[in-house]
A and B are shown apart, each in its own frame.
Chain A
Amino acid sequence: MVDVPLGSTGVVAAPDVEDVELYHPHSWVTKYVFSQDAKIIAIQYAFVALSVGLVALVLSWLMRLQLGFPGVFTFIDANAYYQFITMHGMMMVVYVLTALFLGGFGNYLIPLMIGARDMVFPYVNMLSFWIYLLAVLILVASFFAPGGPTGAGWTLYPPQAITSGTPGGQDWGIIMMLVSLMVFIIGFTMGGLNYVVTVLQARARGMTLMRMPLTVWGIFTASFMALLAFPALFVGAVMMLFDRALGTSFFMPAIVEMGQPLDRNGGSPLLFQHLFWFFGHPEVYIVALPAFGIVSDLISTHARRNIFGYRMMVWALLAIGALSFVVWAHHMYVSGMNPYFGFFFATTTLIIAIPTAIKVYNWILTLWRGDIHLTIPMLFALAFIVTFVNGGLTGLFLGNVVVDVPLSDTMFVVAHFHMVMGVAPILVIFGAIYHWYPKVTGRMLNDGLGKLHFWVTFLGAYAIFFPMHYLGLMGIPRRYHDIADMAFVPPSAHTLNAFITIMALIVGAIQLVFVFNLFWSLRHGREAGGNPWRATTLEWQTPETPPPHGNWGRHLPVVYRWAYDYSVPGADQDFIAQNQPWPTRTSGAGHG
């Protein structure tokens, strides 16, 4: 890797660009704790989200121990098992993936990649993080509340979520979960406003929308979707909180609990499902779109090739974002609905496969005849494509009503969504951390440890989730604490379950290597220089690494080209930075 001498890229004085008024931190506390600098906020978000991720990982171990070796770990009773799966799911989906992609990568990359000094509302941005932290604390506190956390499943379906048979249903668990989610949404809205408005308003001179890196496009579209979709969860949470705390009947039908009729009637559990999935399905893409964007940039940079079909990539992101709002009921095929609705939602679900497939083809065509460097970010990006295609294809199965009905509530579904929105985005997060860590810290992550982390994680995750499809096809149900006594379950299924558990333990343990690498490389990593990957995008062209407060020194960058000028014929280097005015070409040969 060759360092690019600073100053070789032309940071042109741009006196006519209105500069933003920067806040200036005066003390250690305002600089590193209550910081309004998006980069610090990003690190805070990432640190908290990764910590929550480790907790959720341990929870997955515990539930896998029960499934793999039923009866051995007696402290995992049915209640504890349900609490583990619920908290694992909710933590991973909302508090890890959403927070990490938007709060972490969004905060770090948006201002740097579009050539801004900071977010447009830095104070609100800071509040966003602290409110997120509060939400996390409320969630974690529910472990210590009377009755423990809720065990309602991450979908929190009523009526069971708030009845006494479910852990936390009549204790503190469900209340703390709902309050935590509401707090999270308020915090996210503050952050989301920042991400969207910064992209709209704070782009550097010359940075048209169509010159933005796809990472920014992905985060931008996902933020917008999240702003519109999270209110659905908020509304559902408010109504369920009323049902639980004040005794209303929004979702509670007439119901008999432990032989006693409850003082509820007329409510509709289906109503909650509609609200939940109106949030829940876009949520899949809120996680996926930033991953799509990031992976496009990783592939282009590490294959030294311009992204294939940039326009199509942007259009596909927008199309997926829009379509994801009209597919929610495909999560409810077995909940009972008009067959015409089922047909409608199956159709829209399958249509989403088209823009998604376009993206996959474009990634592959970007790799085609590229100068592929098997760096660790690239390995993770390639692994993402494989995993995502795998998970996406089973999505086509489940999107069809007739296939979904028998597979619903089996391990097949668990395998599908872990592949497509669990493992795939996590692989991108790892790739992205290996890719941008040098910019954040000025040092490279250790390569050997990285390779070990990659191979064990990728192969291990496959070993966990690929066999799970077979369990599902056999009819092994999900959400069951103990399947030992089921007559139709063959011994091979138990062996497979034990195997999956062992793999889960290994994959979980190897994450400690990654955590070690993160801390070890802070001091001992190789010095990275400003642009170790020889990348074109603006964040690699900052005058200093790590970028100081205000990012750009005295002058904001000016953008002269798109983000993917790799291996341009006739250029003296195999990349041309976005803020580099020369060389100018008159033809677009070799591009497209």
Chain B
Amino acid sequence: MLKIAASRLNELFDAIAEKQTLYIPVDREPNTAEYKKYESGMTMSSALNTVRSAKDFFFPQTENLAEFKVEGKSIEVKDIRQENEDFVVFGVRACDARSFSILDKVFLSEPVDSFYKNRRDHGTIVTMACTKPAETCFCTVFGIDPTVPEGDVSVFSDGENYFFLDRTEKGTEFVKSVENFLEEGDAAKLAQVQEQARSVIKKLPLAGLSTDSFGGDKLNEHFNSEKWAELSEACIGCGTCTFVCPTCQCYDIRDFDTGHGIKRFRCWDSCMYSDFTKMAHGNPRTSQLERFRQRFMHKLVYFPANNDGEFGCVGCGRCLAKCPISMNIVKVMKALEVK
């Protein structure tokens, strides 16, 4: 397997960054990582994951869609779409890698979202296998193997080296473009590291979580459950869970009057907000219970109903760590589980 010594990783980064924009996770504070545009000398974070997910690369929090110029009775619509430049995201974890295929189902099905597709076409995803999962991790519940992440290229660390496995055409091209830096390496120690990680994963506190009670055909069992009242009782109606979530994909589109023209933008929205999907008659979900229920029903019932049984969660655990009142999908699944 092709590898590079860990001590030479930055040489590789420098070479990639010379040709295209490179993003890597870096520590903002100890163990608090965020993706940053690589600049020579930056150190890749050793944190398990970034606080925000990697969805921003394809579905940014805010983006402009079109511009309008209004003069008298005529409106001029300006198409502001531009071909994206090629970029590489290095160090994406298995959970976030899977989230892209979930987002693809939403944005790449007809009618295709050209803004999203443009970024997807130009982005190369280099993933990083997990060796030290946290207690909040439960990706295996959704059939994800964190020791063999998806992506265009998967990278595995044995502590001393990084091994490269190309998985797509784009990935092969990427590995080829940096092959001068790679050499054939012995993966014996890597196999040990992977084995150890797998044995930890089996013992994770949430490893036993079951999706058996959920799916597209479980609407009636859960929608009218009395448990929603208790589960949503403490929800403060903020958007933290939605905004740190790698798969939450709802957005709002609005027009902004700049004073010299109109900018139409879209931005992330949260079903937890009181004005979510607000129409002329108001919000169809008038209570926090209904809004709370919507988020979890979407991930556990509605999404699988429309997407061949695939759940809208990848078990990254960000909502478990960040919800101000520590209510989350794991607690919801356990409460609604039909034994």
A and B from one assembly?
no
Residues of A within 8 A of B (CB): none
Residues of B within 8 A of A (CB): none
